[in-house]
Structures are given as C-alpha cells and as structure tokens.
Structure 1
C-alpha cells in the first residue's frame, strides 16, 4: 500500500493547489524554508547596522539615521509581506519554493546595495526590492487563481503591489530634492495596500504562527547585535589596551541585550493579536514592529560606537556616543510597551515601568557610564516585570 501512494506523494511535493490555511490550525509552526528566509534577510540587517555605525562614527548622524531608516524599510517590508503571506498560504511545493528563492535573491540584492544607498545611490536597493516584491505578486496571482474565497483580495494585492513597484522604479529618475518626499509617499502607498486589501476579505493568517515569526526575527536581529558588539570588542582587545574598559562594556552589552530579549518575550505576542482580533490590531501590531526590529539592530551599531569610544578610535563625544545606544533602547522599550503591554494594562508596575525606564535611559546619556547605567536600568525593569507578573503569566 505504501508503494501505491508514493506517486501521489511525489506529485504533491511538485505541485499543490494554493489554498487558504485554517486560521485555527493547531501546532502551526515556522517551516525550515521560513527560517532560511529569515537568515538570508538578516544579512541585509547586518549591512544596514554596519553602515549606520560608520556614518554615526564619522559625525554624519542625521544622514546615517535617515539612510538606515530608509534601507531598513526595504528589508523589513519585504520580510513582513513574505511572513504574512506564508501564514495564510504556505503551499510547500516546488513553484512556491522557487518563488521564495527569488524573494531571497531580492533580499540579498538589497543587502548588496546598502553601501551605495548610504552614499545616496539607491539603484541596487530598488532593483533587489522590486525583484522580491514582484516575486510576491506571482504568489498572490497564484492564490487568486486557486483560492476562490480570497480571490478578490489576492488580485487587489497583486495589482496594488505592481503599481507601487513601477513607482519605485520611476522614483529613481526624480531629482534629489524630491528624494525624501517621494520616499515617504511611496512608503504610505506600500502600507496602504494591505490595509485596503484586507478590508475586502481578510486572509487566514494564524495568530500563533505570526507571533512566532516575529519573535524569531527579533531573536535573529538581537543575535546580529551581539555579533556586531563582540567583533568590535575583539578588535579593541587585539590592541592590548583598554582591556578593563572593554571587558566591562562587553558585560554591560550582554546584560542589555539579554534584558531586551526578556522584556520582549515576557508577554506572549499572540495574546494581543487574539484579544484584538481586528484589522486595526493586526496592522498596528505588525507595522509597529518596524520600530522594534530597527531599534534592536541600531543597538548593535551603538555598542560598536561605544567600543570605538572606549578604545579612542572615534572623535565623537561621550554624549553623542551614548545616544547611539540609549535612543534605540528607549525606542525598543516604548515599542514593546505599546505593542505587548499597553498603557492601560491592569498590571500598573509594568504599565508605568516601561515608559519611566525609557525616560531614565535617555537621561543616562548625559551622565557617567551611560551604557552601564542603561544595562542596569533594563535589568531593573526585568526584575520589576517578573515580580509584578509572578503567578499571573498566561499559558503559552
């Protein structure tokens, strides 16, 4: 009997109808293909953080932050759209895998163009971005043909995405004076496509799966931050000078990243999605992670700058160097607070604790040992959170 079913299994591996998955499907977990997709995209995250470090270290703070924000949008938006589509239409056959390969190639092309983007030339980034987005259009067209219940929504996605990609290409011909304005307009256009499409007939994304996908990417970005800081400390120690300061800084950085991990995962992400169960909740939660992912990546660049400062390899002042860490940490805490905790959370210590600690961390920028104080404050917030929620944690 096993031999008789083998040809059918082989056919299903080569080609399967793309049907909407069950929103309440039990044990819905990330696939190996999704994990590979994440790892390839984090290459682009690392490149963006590296260029932010260089720009900030050279004193080009405004330009560096703006370039980082623009490049990071391309990375984040490509990852986000793949993840939500895969949560609703994960058809693991050969055409689906090939389309995903093209999206990965687009993401790696974006990574290859990060250096040029920080110099003001976005041609390679746009080429990679358009490639990965048009591969997503192919997936939506396939869903439109094979999933009747979401046909109108899928066609809207396909048409909307295609129009915006044409505009991204056209933007390359605009004068530099219109660069930022046109970027903001097209970002708003990109963000509007899912909002308008999902109002027609929502796709069957899975709350637990989406929360896991976001959590995994948060882990990868934090891991990239640890790697960047470790390499910077390693280079500093190679000189044989400032060893004590660098070891102390490495310990503070480790405590800081560990605290960020703890605070993000302390509250289950899917709980907010399930409780809200609305388009507004899912969009605000999903879009809001731009700040979480971006700030977590920026912390790595900031820690590298702190290493440069302690080893006297930068001309930046202490406050400017400290702000490269404290600002993204504060943004991270406030974003986690808004998306996972909520200002109206009945547990007042953590509802109040997150914004208070964020303000104290920003103030630490102007005092002695700002990185160590930031790490200590983040650790204190962890202690407060654990104490305040003891015995009240929701089952995972």
Structure 2
C-alpha cells in the first residue's frame, strides 16, 4: 500500500481489508511468547502468586501486539522501511519469548529491554509517518511523545532493583493503557481503526491463542498412560475449546468501531477492545487446566486450585464474550429490532453460563474431574445450540437444505 493511500486515512473504510502476510508472521512470533507464558503458569500446584504473575506479564505482551496492530490498521504502507522495522520488532518479540519465563525474577532485565525495544520501534514508525503524512501529525505526535515517555521508564527499570522495577512497569503500563482513551477524546474519530481490519486482527490473534493452547495441551499429554476417563476428559476439554471458538466468532464484528466512527460512542468502543484481554487470559488459563484435568486422578476430586483455574477461566471467557455481544448490541441501535433482540438474549444466556461456572468453582468440591468437565461441556454446548437455533446464517442454511 502506498504512502498516498496512508495519507487518505483509509478512505476505503467501508471496504473489506485483510491482514497482510507480514502481520500474520508477526502474530506467530507473539504466539510463541504466549506459549512461553502458558509454560510459566503451568506449575504442578498453581498458586495465587503464580496466576497474578502470569497476568502481570501478559499485559505488556498483549499491549505490545496491540500497539503494532493499531499502527498497521491506520498507517501500514508495506514498503521497505515498514518491513524492516516490523522485522526488528519481531526479533525483539523473540527475545521477549526467551525472557518471559522468569520475567519477574532472573530474566526481568531482558524482559524489560525486549519490551522497550518493541515500543521504541513503534515510536519510530509514528514519527516517520508524521513526517510523511502531515494531516496525521496531531495523532502521531501525541502517540510518539506519550509512548516514548513510558518506554524510557522501561529502559530505566532495567537499572532499578526489584521490587521497584516492577512498580515502574505497573505505572508505565497504566499510563500506556490510559493514553489512547485520553488521546481519542482530543482527536477526531476519523482516526479510528479500520472497521473490518481490526476485528479480523483480534479474531486472528484469538484463533492463534486457541491453537497454542491446544498445541501445548497435546504436547504435554502425548506420553500419558491413557485410560477411558482421561480419554473422555481430553475429548470434552477439546469440545469446550471448540465451543469458545463458536461463541466468539458468531459475535465478533466491527459494530463498535462503526458506532465510534459515525456516532462518537467512545465508551463502547474501548470496552469492546479492552475486553479481549481477559478473554485471552481465560483461554490460556483454560488451556493449562485442560492438561491438569486429563492428568489428574480420575477417582479423586480436582484440587481447589485446578478447579478454580478451569471454571474461573471459562467464566472469564464467557463474561468477555457476553460483553462483546452487549457492545455490539448498543452499536446497532439503529439496526433491525430482531437482530438486537437476538444479541441481547445470547448475551444474557452467556452471562448465566458464566455464573454457573463460578458456582462450579465454589460448590463442585466433591465432583470427579470427568463429571466436572462434562458439566462445563454441556453448559457451553447449550449456548452453542441456542446460537445455532437463532443465528440468521444458520437458519438460512437450515432452510435452504
């Protein structure tokens, strides 16, 4: 795509636009980081400290990916300069993967420097875009200054001993996450991401995370001494993963972006965007718990930590997907009443299912592993069945056959 096209701020916003090969390549590198994060979480006995550490490290990983994605959806030119900078970001992401295990202990310096390099390269891209596209300069100046300030903090943190190093990380991330919200209120909504491109990027990354969790699951249980309960537990765990895929991809679209761009609905747009973070956290957490339930003693109830990780992760996924549906519903206020009603009902069903998962976490103390995963699979299967029953696409296919 030419620089002239970038200068027009994607005048083809109503036309479909797909991820580039370079973006897909970058996603795969970040997926390695996510896989390493899952490894760091996958302890024999997962404590609250282990989980909080995992979530804390996941924030900069996800934010670094989101920063690159947002730049690409607005200004990607696919020229030599952009390709080289992106490849350098991928190299830094590879070092991020190396250092994420032990990222809060012996590898914290390497983790901080790897993340800082990714963000520095992103700042360079915004600066270069501001020089080439004068009409974009209000946006590029704000982002480059804001991101550079927090990136300097990450560089400096490498020379500060723990735990103060991590306090700097936390403060920097809080400012970074708040900056887009503050900047958006100052700038016109014409700077909003592409209606089709950003949902596709989020969807592609969600698929990759789902695939990474299944890969880790298969790899870790490959040498297991299989029994009938463990086979059934594995099959039901995979069915839950498929249900998560189904529920998410029957609700994701660019409605929240369209409402922000045309109706200036800022809150719904940012809720839709940021709710993907707990969704991804839930997917990875469930992926780790899949292995634990298959390898557990089938004649004994799951330990409390494993039960909470599994049910809590599914509840987090369902809650996130319900919120995605709600934000889409609000952005379709001018659309067909029947479609709004369907989205509202599906959101309610999904929220009820999330509540059931939390009940399983608290009350299924004596439930055997196979029975627990069966209850989860049946619950999500019902959500999918309800979606199939009312979704326009599935109804049309059923009628045509």
| Structure 1 position 49, deviation (Å) | 0.7
Question: Which of 243, 251, 254 is matched with 1:267 structurally?
Answer: 251
1:373 alignment partner in structure 2: 375
The equivalent residue for 1:9 is: none
Moved more, 267-276 or 24-33: 267-276
Asked if 2 retains the 8 angstrom alpha-carbon contact of 1:22 and 1:204, the reply is no
Does the Cα contact within 8 Å between 2:193 and 2:257 map onto a contact in 1?
no
**Which residue number in structure 2 is paired with residue 50 of structure 1?**
39
Deviates more, 1:293-302 or 1:199-208: 199-208
Tell me the alpha carbon deviations over residues 58-107 of structure 1, each in whole angstroms, 9 at most, x when there is no partner. 34x12211111121112100111111110111101110000101111121
Residue aligning to 1:250: 234
Does structure 2 conserve the Cα–Cα contact (< 8 Å) formed by 1:71 and 1:114?
Answer: yes
Q: What is the rounded CA distance, in whole Å, between the counterparts of 2:30 and 2:202 in structure 1?
A: 13
* Residue among 84, 93, 97 paired with 1:98: 84
- Could you tell me which residue of structure 1 aligns to residue 15 of structure 2? 26
2-structure distance, mates of 1:68, 1:29: 31
- Matched length: 373
Structure 1 distance, partners of 2:298, 2:30, is 31
1:318 maps to which of 287, 291, 303: 303
CA distance in 2, matches of 1:120, 1:363: 38
Partner SS for 2:93 = helix
SS in 1 for 2:101: helix
Does structure 2 retain, via aligned residues, the 8 Å contact 1:233–1:250? no
Cα pair 2:286 2:313 within 8 Å, conserved: yes
Of 181, 186, 189, which aligns to 2:175? Answer: 189
- How many Å apart are 1:231 and its aligned residue? 1.6
Consecutive unaligned residues in structure 2, runs of 5 or more: 331-339, 397-401
What is the root-mean-square deviation of aligned Cα atoms in Å?
Answer: 2.6
Cα distance in 1 between the residues matched to 2:197 and 2:287: 27
Report the CA distance between 1:371 and its aligned residue: 1.9
Matched, 1:222 2:210: yes
Which of 166, 184, 187 is 1:200 aligned to? 187
Asked whether the equivalents of residues 282 and 313 of structure 2 are also in contact (C-alpha less than 8 Å), the reply is yes
Q: TM-score, normalised by structure 2?
A: 0.85
* Alpha carbons of structure 1 residues 372 and 120: separation in structure 2 relative to 1, 3 Å: farther
Structure 1's unaligned 5+ residue stretches are: 1-11
Q: Aligned-pair distance for 1:121?
A: 4.3
User: Structure 1 residues 18, 386: CA separation in 2 closer, same or farther (over 3 Å shift)?
Assistant: closer
**What's the CA shift for 1:356?**
0.9
Picking from 262, 270, 276, the partner of 1:289 is: 276
Match runs of 1:129-144 below 5 Å: 129-144=115-130
Asked whether 1:154 is paired with 2:140, we answer yes
Partner of 1:3: none
Q: CA deviation at 1:232?
A: 2.5
1:391/1:46 CA distance change after superposition, 3 Å: closer
Report matched runs for 1:324-335 at 5 Å.
324-335=309-320
Equivalent-residue separation in structure 1 for 2:349 and 2:78 (angstroms) = 44
CA contact (8 A) 1:256 1:374 kept: yes
2:77 alignment partner, SS class: coil
Contact 1:23 1:204 in 2 (8 A): no
